[in-house]
């Protein structure tokens, strides 16, 4: 039920953190994976690690704001399984924290462009290749910030809330093609949370809101992506699953 054997996957922002863990988990479950990142070397390193472990993977440089790069990567991933892409994970992201009164328009617009614009661009590029036999999946990445807000990241919260709305709209539109669209809202120890984890006061405040009282490792998050990508989630669409130690209850 959780096997991804014979399926292909495209994962953005997979050069490290949650994206890398998801790419590795997909490969371990049997999928052929295209690991993409704006950092060429990081993407290549993850793909090489997957191949060394006996999996099937390739890498590609993708700035998710670039429609041409997104289309090339989608075609590359589909090419691994006869021209059909089964799984897209929109994971690429960025942060530019600042309190609202001091946040610049550039900080706001850049974060929106990468998260919301990138999810739109890559999903649209992948759509012509996505399987319509019930195995097609789009899995977006949002955050508790997009569900309940956060201090010092109005841009990030707005972007992640936008992804929630996009997920639900995508799900309604693509259901007629038997493509499911869901989102995960994870909390993990990654480079994007390092600014919080590295600040004793911010870390304490954050963990006080986490009933399990700790940060997850990226590998703990990856299994939820495998679930959404697999046949076990074939009748789930338009949903947001927090994987955050109970932060959002």
pLDDT digits (tens, 9 = 90+) for 146-168: 999 999 999 999 999 999 999 99
Q: State mean pLDDT over 13-34.
A: 98
Contact 56, 29 (CB under 8 A): no
Q: pTM of the full predicted structure?
A: 0.96
| Confidence grade of residue 198 (pLDDT, cut at 50, 70, 90) | confident
> What's the token pair of residue 79?
């090419």
Q: How far apart are CA 134 and CA 155, in angstroms?
A: 35
Residue 189, domain member (yes or no): yes
Can you tell me the mean pLDDT for 81-87?
A: 98
Across residues 49-55, what is the average pLDDT?
98
- When pLDDT is averaged across residues 219-242 and rounded to a whole number, the result is 98
| Alpha-carbon separation of residue 187 from 80, 136, 184, 193, 213 (angstroms) | 31, 26, 10, 8, 12
Neighbours of 159 (CB within 10 A): 28
Q: Is residue 3 part of a domain?
A: no
Residue 69 covered by a domain? yes
- At 99, which CATH number? 3.40.50.720
Residue 243, strand partner residues:
186
pLDDT band at 220 (very low <50, low <70, confident <90, very high): very high
Which residue in the list 26, 120, 156, 170 is annotated as catalytic?
156
**Is 235 part of any domain?**
yes
Determine contact, residues 169/183, Cβ cutoff 8 Å. no
Dump pLDDT digits (tens) for 54-76. 999 999 999 999 999 999 999 99
Give the tokens for residue 118.
């990138």
Whether residue 171 is predicted with pLDDT greater than 80 in this model: the reply is yes
What is the residue range of 143's domain?
Answer: 8-242
Mean pLDDT of 8-36: 98
Residue 205 has pLDDT above 90, yes or no: no
What is the rounded average pLDDT for all residues in the chain? 96
Q: Is residue 25 part of a domain?
A: yes
Tell me, yes or no, if 156 is annotated catalytic: yes
Query: Per the domain annotation, does 65 fall within a domain?
Result: yes
Q: Does residue 249 lie within any of the structural domains? A: no
Any idea which residue has 């309604």 for tokens? 172
Number of domains the chain contains: 1
- Using 50, 70 and 90 to split pLDDT, how confident is the model at 227? very high
Those residues with Cβ within 8 angstroms of residue 190's Cβ, 6 or more apart along the chain or in another chain: 16, 17, 18, 218
- Encoding tokens for residue 10? 């495209």
pLDDT at 206: 86
Structure tokens belonging to residue 30: 């049997």
Q: Is residue 87 part of a domain?
A: yes
């Amino acid at each position: 039920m959780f096997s991804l054997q014979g399926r292909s996957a495209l994962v953005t922002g997979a050069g490290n953190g949650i994206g890398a863990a998801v790419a590795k988990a997909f490969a371990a479950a049997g999928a052929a994976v295209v690991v993409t990142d704006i950092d060429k070397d990081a993407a290549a390193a993850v793909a090489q690690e997957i191949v060394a472990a006996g999996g099937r993977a390739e890498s590609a440089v993708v700035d998710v704001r670039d429609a041409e790069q997104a289309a090339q990567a989608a075609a590359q991933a589909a090419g691994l399984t006869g021209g059909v892409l089964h799984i897209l994970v929109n994971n690429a992201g960025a942060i530019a924290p600042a309190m609202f009164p001091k946040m610049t328009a550039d900080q706001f617009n850049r974060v929106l462009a990468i998260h919301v614009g990138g999810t739109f661009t890559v999903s649209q590029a992948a759509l012509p290749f996505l399987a319509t036999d019930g195995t097609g999946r789009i899995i977006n990445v949002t955050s508790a910030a997009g569900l309940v807000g956060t201090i010092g990241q109005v841009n990030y919260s707005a972007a992640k809330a936008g992804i929630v709305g996009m997920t639900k709209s995508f799900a309604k539109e693509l259901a007629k093609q038997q493509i499911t669209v869901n989102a995960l809202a994870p909390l993990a120890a990654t480079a994007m949370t390092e600014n919080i984890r590295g600040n004793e006061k911010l870390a304490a405040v954050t963990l006080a809101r986490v009933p399990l009282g700790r940060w997850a490792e990226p590998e703990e998050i990856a299994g939820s992506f495998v679930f959404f990508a697999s046949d076990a989630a074939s009748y789930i669409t338009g949903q947001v699953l927090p994987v955050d130690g109970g932060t959002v209850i």
